[in-house]
A and B are shown apart, each in its own frame.
Chain A
Amino acid sequence: MVLTPGDTGSFDAHHPPRRDLLDDCVHCGFCLPTCPTYLVDGEEMDSPRGRIYLMDLAQRGEIPLDRTMAGHIDSCLGCLACVTACPSGVQYDLLLEATRPQLERHVPRTRLDRLVRKAIFAVFPYPARMRAAAALGVLYRRLGLRWLTHRLGIMNRMPAQLRAAEDLLPPVPVRSLFRRLDRGAAAVGERRLRVAMLEGCAQRVLFGDVNAATMRVLAAEGCEVVVPQGQQCCGALNLHAGLEDDAAARARKLIDTFEQANADAVVVNVAGCGSSMKEYGLLLRDDPAYAERAARFAASVRDVNELLAELEPRAPRHLIAAKVAYHDACHLANAQRIRRQPRDLLRSVPGVELTDIPEADICCGSAGIYNLVQPGTAEELGRRKAANIESTTPDVIATANAGCLLQVRRFLSADIPLVHPIEILDASIRGVPLEKARR
């Protein structure tokens, strides 16, 4: 069939998946073994090749945008391992990001799904609400309510989404939930760069330690760190869920806030946030007031591992004798193509022995809000990842993304410390044992 240019089939005309990008797929199947959902159920429609096939059919108007199609696009974790594996250079990331908003616009969700998503987007992007929710969660455990609800079998009757949320909360002390990050730090020695740091939403509430460690390491390596005040959520969760308008609104606000900092680079320690911020140029391409600023902002974004790897190490490292299993976060390894840098940084610490994890390129199942909205698949992938990590018998597990830290912790059977790589670096530079550095 010969298509007339501009024909968008079942998609509406607002940035549908591009025909030329769909045509890049030659159906070779090299993506299949890297796809987590294909690994779980082996169905063609839940593989990158199958999803592209569905997009292609919809673009030709041969199938409608309906629940069936939405189900297979929803089931995608967006881990982008397929993009890394593809020999034909198919930009599945762009295809997915073009398809999700279309489905959001045209396919109504079930009531439960709507409710769960609404709750997530009403809490996660707001640190104050997140803090309150986490504190309630901690209390719920402390008061033995968790024990009670499970004993009474109440939890078993709750939706799987709620059970997943209950399990994901890490064992944090209440006071750490309320600790605030310093407004900035001066460079130690001669200043090499001025960097503006993202605090993150869930990140600042649940992983305040990681933020503090990030600031110390950056300063020790000669960076002047500023934390722009009033910064809000970067919109990564919205963007990955196909809520384009919400994501764009958040992007504009974040750009406004960070532009005032006049920094050489914007530094991020959450892989999911960083990958979205690097896409702001694309997200705001239609907004004449922001398109150019967004592109400039996106070009200044650096993951903390990436930034430190670009700087010659300056601060002396002290011995940390530990076997470290490094877990690649998908939004770092696949979306930002940052694999070597965190490994190099960890190797710069004397005493660290790095081990590779079997099936390293398979997602852990965290994937933004995925483990809350698709708890079944996420659980299967989480167990698989935890077993693979444990098979290497590490002393410490390191991964550079908040979502992965929560997800992997939930499924570990042994009590192995889970840290952000920057925490190991921080402990090494300060010359304190890893456990102490985290307090």
Chain B
Amino acid sequence: MSWSAELVEALGRENVITDPARLRTYECDGLTGYRVQPAMVVLPRSAGEVAAAVRVCARHGVPFVARGAGTGLSGGALPVADGIVISLQRLRRIMEVDPVNLRAVVEPGVTNLDISKAAAPYGLYYAPDPSSQQVCTIGGNVAENSGGAHCLKYGFTVNHVLAAEVVLADGTVTRLGGESPQLPGYDLLGAFIGSEGTLGIVTQVTVRLLAKPAAIRTMVADFATVAGAGDAVTGIIAAGIVPAAVEMLDNLAIQAVAASTESVYTPDTAAALVVELDGPPDDVAEQFDEVQEICRRNGSTKIMVAADAEHRALIWRGRKAAFAAVGRISPNYFVQDGVVPRGRLAEVLGRIAAMADDAGIRVANVFHAGDGNLHPLVLYSEGEGQHDRAEHLSTQIAELCVELGGSLSGEHGIGADKACSMPRMFGQDDLATMLRLRSAFDPDGLCNPGKVFPTPRLCGERPGPYRPHPLEEAGVIERL
């Protein structure tokens, strides 16, 4: 029997998609610059069915790509042309909320925000909060080790997952991690989180829940220059304050947010900082005054303090919808995710602006300033043939971050997008070590191939149907 027939038999016709038009809706995730139509999409309803699908793939050597809500921004869920996509959108149960032990057990298709909603009656919440938290799923968060605005104080997904049930590349179901806070032996769960789907598929996650902070205060401080805002961030951290979040938006990003309704940001300011403090009321009140003072000292032109929970929600709605709101000022865009040491924020922003000018392409900035995690949005128009120029600029920006002593990615993952740049950040030995770890889990390379690791197939070539590589055309290399 062919592998496709086996999959239909294992999962049932109604849980398998083979029609070409339908398959095309799965050809990209949140990063639309890369598109590949998969051979099949399967929608298992249980961990058992995920394992059954993977076993068929393993037997026939068919590559597979797990997909949550498809909101990823690095092409982590980009399909493989002759492989299948395993959608986890039918595994959406919240199995347990345990307010005594402060944890919840959920299936991978549950959205990040739904975990917090389920925990809310107990005064608890799930801390990592990617901007797409009402859409993105916990399975994808585990794969990408997702962060969010509040990671400055609370850490990333890896700090909030206690255990996971995973399906390995051969179809075995196993558990990583455990309920006790500290486990002996190698931290296999830690290796799995952030592996971008290259080590297996998570089918159940036990997450840590936190008590909601007693007090939360939020402000938006406007600045006449981006550098002034950058200096204020350095000042806040240097004062020994650990805010729950420090976010920066530049003018272009603010314009995009303002184009959507109910924007609370000043439309013509050069930069705005969103600073949020949380914790015991007295501490928060004292530090909140101090932060305002630091902002003023660094040339803040206006400070708006959130009056109530509703106002605070509006500030965050604007910030969190910023990427998508950019759709109002540009037909297409790439989002970068580089990290720089906090002290070099002003410098890197100046250099990005210069590079953008050279390329004749607009770049908007909206990012987690507190931990130096940049999100430059490279704006372009596919219709006007700017794709390649924008993609090049986007790569240049990521590599600039590495050059300044930072990283290619803060939270979106390497995916298909930045795989080519990995050698800029890691030596051959580093990459070889990572590859050995990957091979220990997935010796045949069937789990989400083409991501994270640079491969000749991806570098200098666009994914998709076969096109000759430029070097191939020049007769320098040949395809074996």
A87 within 8 A of B: yes
Known contacts: A42-B43, A63-B21. The answer to whether A29 contacts B69 by CB under 8 A is yes
B46 within 8 A of A: no
- Tell me the complex Cα distance, A63–B20, Å: 9
- Tell me the complex Cα distance, A41–B324, Å: 25
B323 within 8 A of A: yes
Contact present for A30 and B321 (CB under 8 Å) = yes
Q: Which of A50-58, A136-144, A340-348 contacts B (4 or more CB under 8 A)?
A: A50-58
Q: Which residues of A contact B109 (CB under 8 A)?
A: 42
Contact present for A24 and B327 (CB under 8 Å) = yes
Contact present for B43 and A43 (CB under 8 Å) = yes
Q: How far in angstroms is the closest Cβ of chain A from B462? A: 13
Contact present for B28 and A57 (CB under 8 Å) = no
Contact present for A88 and B25 (CB under 8 Å) = no
Q: Which residues of B contact A53 (CB under 8 A)?
A: 24-25
A45 within 8 A of B: yes
Contact of A87 among B26, B136, B325, B331 (CB under 8 A): B325
Contact present for A30 and B22 (CB under 8 Å) = no
- Tell me the complex Cα distance, A439–B43, Å: 51
B32 within 8 A of A: yes
B174 within 8 A of A: no
Known contacts: A32-B135, A68-B21. The answer to whether A26 contacts B333 by CB under 8 A is yes
Contact present for A28 and B24 (CB under 8 Å) = no
Q: Which residues of B contact A90 (CB under 8 A)?
A: 327
Q: Which residues of B contact A25 (CB under 8 A)?
A: 327
- Tell me the complex Cα distance, A23–B380, Å: 12
Known contacts: A2-B383, A26-B333. The answer to whether A32 contacts B69 by CB under 8 A is yes
Residue interface mask A67-99, B partner, CB < 8 A = 1: 011001000000000000011111000000000
- Tell me the complex Cα distance, A30–B69, Å: 10
In the complex, which residue of chain B has the Cβ closest to the Cβ of A43?
B43
Residue interface mask A28-51, B partner, CB < 8 A = 1: 111011000010011111000110
Contact present for B383 and A28 (CB under 8 Å) = no
In the complex, which residue of chain A has the Cβ closest to the Cβ of B320?
A87
A154 within 8 A of B: no
Q: How far in angstroms is the closest Cβ of chain A from B74? A: 14
A158 within 8 A of B: no
Q: Which residues of A contact B92 (CB under 8 A)?
A: 42
Q: How far in angstroms is the closest Cβ of chain B from A427? A: 31
- Tell me the complex Cα distance, A32–B109, Å: 12
A3 within 8 A of B: yes
- Tell me the complex Cα distance, A313–B322, Å: 40
Residue interface mask B23-39, A partner, CB < 8 A = 1: 01110111010000000
Contact present for B89 and A42 (CB under 8 Å) = yes
B332 within 8 A of A: yes
Known contacts: A2-B385, A26-B32. The answer to whether A43 contacts B71 by CB under 8 A is no
Contact present for B328 and A88 (CB under 8 Å) = yes
Contact of B132 among A29, A69, A86, A88 (CB under 8 A): A29
Q: Which residues of A contact B332 (CB under 8 A)?
A: 26
In the complex, which residue of chain B has the Cβ closest to the Cβ of A85?
B134
Count of B interface residues, CB-CB < 8 Å: 42
Q: Which residues of B contact A86 (CB under 8 A)?
A: 324
B326 within 8 A of A: yes
B111 within 8 A of A: yes
- Tell me the complex Cα distance, A415–B57, Å: 52
Q: Which residues of B contact A54 (CB under 8 A)?
A: 21, 24-25
B87 within 8 A of A: yes
Q: Which residues of B contact A68 (CB under 8 A)?
A: 19, 21-22
A27 within 8 A of B: yes
B residues 346-400 near A (Cβ < 8 Å) are: 383, 385
Q: Which residues of B contact A26 (CB under 8 A)?
A: 32, 323-324, 326-327, 332-333
Q: How far in angstroms is the closest Cβ of chain B from A278? A: 18
B70 within 8 A of A: yes
Contact present for A88 and B327 (CB under 8 Å) = yes
B90 within 8 A of A: yes
Residue interface mask B313-348, A partner, CB < 8 A = 1: 000000001111111100111000000000000000
Q: Which residues of A contact B172 (CB under 8 A)?
A: none
- Tell me the complex Cα distance, A27–B24, Å: 13
Known contacts: A29-B30, A68-B21. The answer to whether A42 contacts B90 by CB under 8 A is yes
Q: How far in angstroms is the closest Cβ of chain B from A380? A: 14
Contact present for B259 and A27 (CB under 8 Å) = no
Q: Which residues of A contact B71 (CB under 8 A)?
A: 28-29
Q: Which residues of A contact B17 (CB under 8 A)?
A: 43, 45
Q: How far in angstroms is the closest Cβ of chain A from B221? A: 23
In the complex, which residue of chain A has the Cβ closest to the Cβ of B260?
A87
Residue interface mask B287-324, A partner, CB < 8 A = 1: 00000000000000000000000000000000001111
B residues 120-147 near A (Cβ < 8 Å) are: 132, 134-136
Contact present for B327 and A45 (CB under 8 Å) = no
Q: How far in angstroms is the closest Cβ of chain B from A91? A: 12
Contact present for A50 and B25 (CB under 8 Å) = yes
In the complex, which residue of chain A has the Cβ closest to the Cβ of B113?
A33
Contact present for B28 and A27 (CB under 8 Å) = yes
Q: How far in angstroms is the closest Cβ of chain B from A97? A: 21
- Tell me the complex Cα distance, A323–B134, Å: 29
Indicate the member of B28, B322, B331 with the most A CB atoms within 10 Å: B331
Q: Which residues of B contact A66 (CB under 8 A)?
A: 21
In the complex, which residue of chain A has the Cβ closest to the Cβ of B109?
A42
- Tell me the complex Cα distance, A24–B134, Å: 21
- Tell me the complex Cα distance, A356–B43, Å: 33
Q: Which residues of A contact B324 (CB under 8 A)?
A: 26, 28, 30, 86-88
Given contacts A3-B383, A26-B32, A43-B22, 11 further A-B contacts (CB under 8 A): A29-B132, A42-B43, A42-B109, A44-B25, A44-B87, A54-B21, A87-B322, A87-B323, A87-B325, A88-B326, A90-B327
Closest 7 CB pairs of A and B: A42-B89, A88-B327, A87-B321, A87-B324, A26-B327, A28-B324, A50-B25
28 contacts across the A-B interface (CB closer than 8 A): A2-B383, A3-B383, A24-B327, A26-B332, A26-B333, A27-B28, A27-B30, A27-B32, A28-B323, A28-B324, A29-B69, A29-B135, A30-B134, A32-B69, A32-B135, A33-B135, A42-B87, A42-B109, A43-B17, A43-B43, A43-B89, A44-B22, A44-B25, A53-B24, A54-B24, A66-B21, A72-B22, A87-B327
A residues sitting closer than 8 Å to B (CB atoms) are: 2-3, 23-30, 32-33, 38, 41-45, 49-50, 53-54, 57, 62-63, 66, 68-69, 72, 86-90
